[in-house]
Structure 1
């Protein structure tokens, strides 16, 4: 079952037509949320990011789009799919309702909420090899639109095909200044000694919720100095660790980039603190 505009309907029911703006123009936003036993991890942060993103895209926010209302709609989907007593992932998709005209005056939105079963109640570290390479066919724009979770993901789609065709588990995206910005579907962190760096939003990386949480954890510890600073490709092979953060994977250590092999100690240490933070809400 999915929730379309407050109505629980079958996943097989047609709801999108040929004029859907999200389909034709990529005029849509989404939030992926981890849920455990019906409780949403970091829900307030997801909600506030969604509202901020809608304002940036000049979408008309419905009066009933309160945090309580959307939480209720999400939990209705979770319960309808018998996911209330197990891990799950939820996606909220918001798109402008009417027409594919670029000069459409109506900014009203529609929403769709779907859910699926998750793997584990808390984040875990994968023991599998995770090799990455730079994806240089196209550049990521260093602007505010790149910070958003929009459905315009062609760069990541083509990067994913490149990774699959060349035997990599992921790719790292770069911007026009040739700075490393993020992975295909997650934020990048680099560890060198007691310093941890992650690209700043101005470089064009996604404003990820787990990026925020890892920065919050690091800023409270005396073990590391943390920086939001540009990362050049030359720094990658000199790093002690590289890891990627995303709502679906949590923390994904990178094991290899070209001739460099990486440790995972910092990733594992941060994972426990992230799970503790998630339990606290």
Structure 2
């Protein structure tokens, strides 16, 4: 089921048309989140992220778009029986039809859909997970790159490249040739007791789990956390690499080129992330 502007429609229903601005111009935002036992994990952070992104893109925020209203709309699409399980939720907001590059209106519509997940909380995937750099195209170092817009063609082409070459994921570079992020999340590097992640100024997505991991690290005295540019050379010098996003939590990278990695810090942080998710 899909929630289109408060109306529940079938997945196969034709409720959009060829004038949709998200389709024509990528004039749309999305937020992906996780629901467990009827509770949206880190909901306040996701909500504020969505509102902030809408303001940056000069979309008109309806007066009805309160946290309580959108939570109610999200729960409408959760299939029966999932209240005690887990689901991946995606909210897509797009500017209404009309105009070309210059919109006729800044009013918006929204779509909410849900997919079931196997596990109620984040688990550590310890299977082989190999990555490579994707060098064909780069991420721009500006605020638009921090937003989750529907203009994700770089991520799509990178995912095709990864599939064609047998990689689980790829790491994306920015126009300064620094590592910015993975295809589907933020990247963290561990060397000794220092953890690094690219700053937002490097063009990475402003991920909610990235933010939570930074908050957690700032409370652990044994680790030093740095938001700093990461060069491709540093990847093979690291003890660990891992990817974060709101659906999988933390995904350890096991191999990059000839280097293999541990997952000790990732495993420790995942436990703390689950604890934060339970009490958010």
Tell me, in whole angstroms, the C-alpha distance in 1 between the residues paired with 2:99 and 2:166.
Answer: 38
Tell me, in whole angstroms, the C-alpha distance in 1 between the residues paired with 2:173 and 2:50.
Answer: 25
Q: Which residue number in structure 2 is paired with residue 218 of structure 1?
A: 217
Check the 8 A contact 2:93/2:108 in 1, yes or no: yes
Gap runs ≥5 in structure 2: none
Tell me, in whole angstroms, the C-alpha distance in 1 between the residues paired with 2:8 and 2:140.
Answer: 37
Q: Which residue number in structure 2 is paired with residue 10 of structure 1?
A: 10
Measure how far apart 1:37 and its partner are: 1.3
Tell me, in whole angstroms, the C-alpha distance in 2 between the residues paired with 1:63 and 1:111.
Answer: 14
1:53-202 map, 5 Å: 53-78=53-78, 80-202=79-201
Return the TM-score normalized by structure 2. 0.98
SS in 2 for 1:123: coil
Note the aligned Cα RMSD (angstroms): 0.9
Return the TM-score normalized by structure 1. 0.98
Q: Which residue number in structure 1 is paired with residue 27 of structure 2?
A: 27
Equivalent residues, number? 280
Cα deviations by residue, 1:217-247 (Å, 9 ceiling, x for unpaired): 0000011000000000000000000000011
Measure how far apart 1:100 and its partner are: 5.0
Tell me, in whole angstroms, the C-alpha distance in 1 between the residues paired with 2:201 and 2:73.
Answer: 34
Q: Which residue number in structure 2 is paired with residue 39 of structure 1?
A: 39
SS in 1 for 2:32: strand
Tell me, in whole angstroms, the C-alpha distance in 1 between the residues paired with 2:8 and 2:228.
Answer: 44
Q: Which residue number in structure 2 is paired with residue 52 of structure 1?
A: 52
Measure how far apart 1:81 and its partner are: 4.7
1:262 aligns with 2:264: no
1:246 aligns with 2:245: yes
Q: Which residue number in structure 2 is paired with residue 236 of structure 1?
A: 235
Measure how far apart 1:103 and its partner are: 1.6
Cα deviations by residue, 1:38-94 (Å, 9 ceiling, x for unpaired): 11000000000000000000000001001111011111211x554222111111110
Check the 8 A contact 2:191/2:239 in 1, yes or no: yes
Measure how far apart 1:274 and its partner are: 0.3
Check the 8 A contact 1:193/1:240 in 2, yes or no: yes
Measure how far apart 1:255 and its partner are: 0.4
